Structures are given as structure tokens and as C-alpha cells.
């Protein structure tokens, strides 16, 4: 694929150069902090963008809540390590029945919730059944549809019986649907989360920060830093300014990749580069014109030069995959060749669909990656005769309400961070993308019930069908880049779930 060098790219890169110079030379005026030093090794301040609208992921979608709460306040029976392997957590282990329909978990002893209640098998039963109830509104609850019932064997033993064998269910238990709750602690999850994790919520200043305090009664290894503040900033430049001024210690999942060089050359900082499950999705509402016509969606796919989008918008970082599956998933395959950059083919499809000189509204969340991507997509679609009007939507509140909940949009772009979320996005016609899942539903279900080899083969077919239908365009897999003061250790390089695990971080 030949890379284009256009005036739009020069303009974007020029603006980024100016931002770099301003951020790294002028932002330390008046600073009282010393980069790389820590006066209190029991304190950590993390810079993030995208504040949660509340603290209840059971009723509210989006990545910001589980990023702060999962692994820190809430835990599950199982978790993922940095390689993506499933490991015990609140369970010491598990056994599977011969027909692969029952999982019997043995639980850790001596575990308490942050409100002082004991954790036992009754809480497992309550938590899983609650996901299946009307109390849970988050669409990810469908991951528990396969559960038939939960049986308490003893206070330390619980059996989960499935309706059918499922290759995906145990992995789903590592996500937020597997979080364990205390029945007496669910009355106000939006403001007062109660979990078994190493931290408890100390305070929440809406629009500013969340403070977490290490629990003295935590059942596992005590967190390396007791007092953690998650500070939320309006834009990516503000996070790096806060780091260089000494106001924060770590910028997690950095949203300004053009600034990396300024930190890589300075010994008082460290740059941690890893990968993630997150797909930058160019979403087309399959249920509304013009994207209810497959030919128009295909035209968009051919019009987009994904390499130029990544290189221009995100400084060449990230992975081109061509489909909604990251390379870390077992059923990944490179699908970039299905829709190579071909503007002539895009124009031909638009003409065939009677959609020449098309007007489209592009609803863009107020996130750095989305704004950067939108400018490149705007120009590429204009080149094939699609006139794009960019409409900004404050994220998360406005975007979640308008696009995700009410489906009031034509085209959007968002970072989809949930692990193994391809069926969440495309095997549900009521999801905001609106894809007709009739082509994949039966094959996806059959694959899930099969052995590992047939599961992988079946899911590859499902993903290929989704891409061939041009349901959405996966622009690239988002990198996970963090910048920290040199004295910090234990920062996970890879983002394997939505959670930002804080307990392993420590000052050296």
C-alpha cells in the first residue's frame, strides 16, 4: 500500500510539532515538583483522561468505570495475567465436569469485602445471578446468558452449571461481569462501591479525581502504594504538562504519542510501551441511511487508508489488523487485504448505490484519538465524494447517551476496549452498531460449544463474515503507552482488560 503525503498530513503533523514544543518547554513554569522524585512512597498520582460518569459499571457502559474500579475495588474468581492467560484470584482453583458444562470453584478463605462482610460461596451465587437479573443494565451482561444455575456446595465451594459447553464463559469471568459483590453493598454502587479488592474508595471529586486507599484487611498481597489518586484531565497535553511539572507521577495510556520523544531522551522518565485489546472502530449505523446499504459501508471501507490514519493520527503506533479482533485473541487473522485502500472502487460502489455526493454526519467523542482520527477520515471520505460534517459529542456522558444508548447517529469512532468483544458488538442487532447478526448467530453459538480447534475455526469464519459485510471499519489496534517517573516499578505494559491494576505499582 502506497502511503500518501498530502497537505492535510503536513498540517496535522505541524500542529503536533507546535504542541510538542509548547508542552515540553513551557509547561514547567511555576512547578514545585521534581520529576523523578517521590517525597512520599505511600502516595501515587495517576493522570487519566475520560472521567467516569458514575462508579457503577453494572448499569453504565464505557471503559472509565472498570478502568478505575476493577482489580482495585472489585475482584473476580479469576483474572488475566499480562500474557492474557487465565489465573485464579478469589478462587484458588476450579474443576470442570466431563461434559464441560459445570465449573466447581474452590474459594480463598478469610476474604472480606471493604464493608467488613465475609466473602463466601453465597456471594458468588448472588453476583452471577444478579448479572442475569434486571438489576444489571450494562449490555455486557449477555456474557452470562449461558449460565443455567449456581449451586452453593459449601461456604468455600460453588458450582456454576452452564446450559451448554462454552469456550468463552471462563474468559468472560475475568471481565467486569465476573466481579463479586456483597448483597448488602449494592444499594448505591454509583457512589459507594463495595468489593474485595486491595483498595477502597476514599473520596470522589466529580470532574477532578478519585482517591483510593489501600485496605489494611486485604486478603492478598498488600498494595505497593497505599494512597492512590486518579486525576482526570480534559486533554492529553494537560496530562503530560502535569507530569513534567511534578503534579502527577504516571500518565497511563498516554493520549499524545507525538510527545513521546521528549520523554524518551530524559533519564528522569520511563516510557512503557505495550499493546491492548482496544480496537479503534469507525462505526457505521447499519440501521439508518445511508449505512443500511452494504455498498455504502463497503465504499467507506475502500475509501479509508488505515495506514495513513494510524500514521497521521497516532504517530505510527498501533497495529493494523483489518478486523475487530486483536492479535492476542486465539481466532485472530490478518484481514487487511479484504478491503485495501481503493478510492476508485469506493466511487464505483457509491455510484452503484445511487449515493454520489453523499452527506454524512460524523459524531465524534471528545477524546484525543477520536479527534485526530476524525480529521484524516474527513479528508479521505471527501476524496471519494462523501461530504462529512463533524459533530462533537462530549465524552462520556453525551456520546454514551446519544450514540451508544439512543443510536442517534450515522457514523462515529470509538475505542472499544472490552476483551474479546467481537460478539458483544456484532452478535446483537440491538447494539449501537445495529449489525444484522442472522448470518453469524448460529455459527458463533456452534463454535462456542465446540472443542478448541473448532472454536477457533468457527470464530474465524464469523469474523470474516462481519468484515466482508463491512459492519464497521477497524482502523487499528490501540497501543498501550505509559510515561512515568523513573522511580516507579510494577506498571503493567499491556492492557489485557479494561482495568488499570494499581496494587503492583511501587516506588523503588
CA-CA-CA-CA torsion for 442, 443, 449, 451, nearest 10 degrees? 170
At 2 the pLDDT is 33
Q: What is the DSSP letter of 336?
A: G
Instruction: Please give the C-alpha separations between residue 180 and each of 152, 365, 368, in angstroms, as whole numbers.
Output: 15, 31, 33
* Residue 39: pLDDT band with limits 50, 70, 90: low
> What is the structure's pLDDT at 419?
84
267 pLDDT more than 50: yes
| DSSP E strand boundaries for 385-479 | 386-393, 411-416, 472-477
Q: What's the pLDDT tens digit per position in 429-441?
A: 999 999 999 999 9
The CA-based diameter of the chain, rounded to the nearest angstrom, is 68
End-to-end alpha-carbon separation of the chain, Å? 46
Average pLDDT in the chain: 91
- Helix/strand/coil for 466: helix
Distance CA 192, CA 203 (A): 9
Mean pLDDT within 249-254:
96
- B/e letters for 412-443, b = 16+ CB within 10 Å, e = fewer, are bbbbbbbbbbbbbbbbbeebbbbbebebbbee
Residue 322 CB coordination number (10 Å)? 21
Classify the phi-psi angles of 504: left when phi > 0, otherwise alpha if psi is within -120 to 50, otherwise beta: alpha
Quote the pLDDT of residue 11: 40
d(CA 149, CA 145): 10
pLDDT band of 256, cuts 50, 70, 90 = confident
The CA distance from 247 to 31, in Å, is: 8
pLDDT cut 90: percent of the chain above it: 85
pTM over 0.85: no
Please write down the HEC assignment for all residues of 99-119: CCCEEEEEECCCCECCCCCEC
The pLDDT, as a whole number, for residue 29 is: 28
Residue 347: phi, psi to the nearest 5? -65, -40
Q: Between vectors from CA 343 to CA 341 and to CA 345, what angle results, nearest 5°?
A: 95
Nearest CA among 182, 72, 185 for reference residue 118:
182
pLDDT tier, 40 (very low <50, low <70, confident <90, very high otherwise): confident
Q: Is residue 26 scored above 60 in pLDDT? A: no
Peptide bond into 290 cis (omega under 30): yes
Amino acid at each position: 500500500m502506497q502511503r500518501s503525503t498530502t497537505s492535510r498530513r503536513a498540517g496535522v503533523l505541524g500542529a503536533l510539532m507546535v504542541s510538542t514544543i509548547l508542552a515540553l518547554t513551557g509547561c514547567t513554569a511555576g512547578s514545585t515538583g521534581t520529576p523523578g522524585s517521590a517525597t512520599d512512597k505511600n502516595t501515587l498520582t495517576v493522570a487519566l483522561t475520560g472521567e467516569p460518569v458514575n462508579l457503577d459499571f453494572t448499569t453504565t457502559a464505557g471503559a472509565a468505570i472498570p478502568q478505575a474500579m476493577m482489580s482495585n475495588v472489585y475482584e473476580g474468581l479469576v483474572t488475566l495475567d499480562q500474557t492474557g492467560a487465565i489465573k485464579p484470584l478469589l478462587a484458588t482453583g476450579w474443576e470442570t465436569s466431563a461434559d464441560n458444562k459445570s465449573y466447581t470453584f474452590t474459594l480463598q478463605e478469610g476474604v472480606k469485602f471493604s464493608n467488613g462482610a465475609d466473602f463466601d460461596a453465597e456471594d458468588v451465587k448472588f453476583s452471577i445471578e444478579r448479572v442475569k437479573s434486571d438489576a444489571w443494565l450494562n449490555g455486557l451482561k449477555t456474557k452470562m446468558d449461558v449460565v443455567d444455575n449456581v449451586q452453593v456446595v459449601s461456604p468455600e465451594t460453588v458450582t456454576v452449571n452452564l446450559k451448554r459447553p462454552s469456550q468463552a464463559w471462563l474468559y468472560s469471568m475475568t471481565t467486569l461481569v465476573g466481579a463479586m459483590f456483597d448483597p448488602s453493598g449494592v444499594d448505591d454502587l454509583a457512589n459507594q462501591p463495595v468489593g474485595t479488592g486491595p483498595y477502597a474508595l476514599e473520596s470522589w471529586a466529580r470532574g477532578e479525581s478519585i482517591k483510593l486507599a489501600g485496605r489494611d484487611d486485604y486478603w492478598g498481597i498488600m498494595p505497593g502504594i497505599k494512597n492512590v489518586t486518579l486525576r482526570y484531565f480534559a486533554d492529553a497535553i494537560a496530562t503530560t504538562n502535569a507530569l513534567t511539572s511534578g503534579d502527577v507521577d504516571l500518565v497511563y495510556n498516554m493520549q499524545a504519542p507525538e510527545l513521546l520523544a521528549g520523554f524518551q531522551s530524559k533519564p528522569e522518565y520511563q516510557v512503557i510501551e505495550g499493546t491492548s485489546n482496544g480496537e479503534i472502530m469507525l462505526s457505521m449505523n447499519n440501521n439508518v441511511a445511508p449505512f443500511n446499504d452494504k455498498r455504502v459501508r463497503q465504499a467507506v471501507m475502500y475509501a479509508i487508508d488505515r495506514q495513513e490514519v494510524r500514521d497521521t493520527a497516532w504517530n505510527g503506533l498501533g497495529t493494523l489488523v483489518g478486523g475487530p479482533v486483536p492479535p492476542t485473541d486465539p481466532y485472530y487473522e490478518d484481514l487487511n487485504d479484504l478491503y485495501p485502500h481503493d478510492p476508485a472502487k469506493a466511487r464505483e460502489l457509491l455510484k452503484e448505490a445511487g449515493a454520489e455526493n453523499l452527506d454524512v454526519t460524523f459524531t465524534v467523542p471528545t477524546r484525543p484519538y477520536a479527534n485526530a482520527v476524525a480529521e484524516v477520515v474527513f479528508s479521505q471520505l471527501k476524496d471519494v465524494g462523501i461530504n462529512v460534517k463533524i459533530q462533537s459529542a462530549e465524552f462520556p456522558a453525551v456520546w454514551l447517551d446519544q450514540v451508544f444508548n439512543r443510536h442517534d447517529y450515522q457514523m462515529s469512532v470509538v475505542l472499544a476496549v472490552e476483551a474479546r468483544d467481537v460478539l458483544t458488538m456484532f452478535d446483537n442487532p440491538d447494539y449501537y452498531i445495529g449489525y444484522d447478526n442472522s448470518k453469524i448467530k448460529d455459527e458463533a453459538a456452534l463454535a462456542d460449544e465446540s472443542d478448541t480447534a473448532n472454536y477457533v475455526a468457527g470464530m474465524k469464519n464469523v469474523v470474516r463474515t462481519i468484515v466482508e459485510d463491512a459492519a464497521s471499519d477497524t482502523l487499528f489496534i490501540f497501543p498501550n503507552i505509559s510515561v512515568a517517573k523513573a522511580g516507579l516499578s510494577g506498571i503493567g505494559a499491556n492492557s489485557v482488560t479494561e482495568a488499570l491494576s494499581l496494587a503492583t505499582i511501587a516506588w523503588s
